[in-house]
Amino acid sequence: MDGIHDTGGMTGYGPVPYQKDEPFFHYEWEGRTLSILTWMHLKGISWWDKSRFFRESMGNENYVNEIRNSYYTHWLSAAERILVADKIITEEERKHRVQEILEGRYTDRKPSRKFDPAQIEKAIERLHEPHSLALPGAEPSFSLGDKIKVKSMNPLGHTRCPKYVRNKIGEIVTYHGCQIYPESSSAGLGDDPRPLYTVAFSAQELWGDDGNGKDVVCVDLWEPYLISA
């Protein structure tokens, strides 16, 4: 979908702040949020494309307001709404817990069972285990050096095709094999592997005469986004 999250190629947002020796988490709840979403991924309740769709659908005003506080507010919002959408908790339960926190009445619940530390270590190892993202799928329709044009599109669901490259002409510079197609994955329709390419665009193709003639921008794009130029 098109929304405030897709700001690639745009100006006016100011410099990216840099904090020397920045901690992994600024607040304890940020680490907990990462743990919750990681657990949901390991359990198959969520996955990257699904959680991205829920973050993108939180509404432009909420997206902007919450990112001013912490990046992890987006993750927490997605986790809450996924758990409700999948009927793991009810909306009433979610609201009750939020109200407890707002009123200062919340206390940590005693876990219903203890986890074996060995299981936790095994789960962490799984997350960091190197593996190829390529999957069996269709033969690619494009070859290295081919000129392509990105389709003009306005998707209602999740997409990894940024607005600033749509309707622009580029060149295939790398082929990555077939990989999980975000549009299908985010909608819960399975991996649906499609050919994935790195496409190079000249800065002037993207931004006209204001683009630096020496600059090139490379973007990873799935084949359904592309047509022959």
State how far the Cα of 104 lies from the Cα of 106, in Å rounded to an integer.
6
How many C-beta neighbours within 10 Å does residue 150 have? 23
- What's the pLDDT at 78? 92
Tokens of 212: 């630096």
- What's the pLDDT at 56? 87
pTM confidence score: 0.84
* C-alpha distances out from residue 228 to 79, 140, 195, 225, Å: 39, 13, 15, 11
At residue 217, what are phi and psi to the nearest 5 degrees?
Answer: -115, 125
Average pLDDT of each block of 10 consecutive residues along the chain (229 residues)? 76 80 92 90 91 86 73 90 95 94 87 78 82 93 98 92 96 98 95 98 95 96 98
Q: Are strands 194-202 and 169-179 parallel, antiparallel or unpaired?
A: antiparallel
Beta bridge partners of 166: none
- What's the pLDDT at 159? 94
- What's the pLDDT at 42? 84
- What's the pLDDT at 68? 72
- What's the pLDDT at 116? 81
Identify which of 226, 107, 228, 80 has the alpha carbon closest to the alpha carbon of residue 160. Answer: 226
* Domains of the chain and any CATH numbers: 28-128 (1.10.472.20), 146-228 (2.30.30.50)
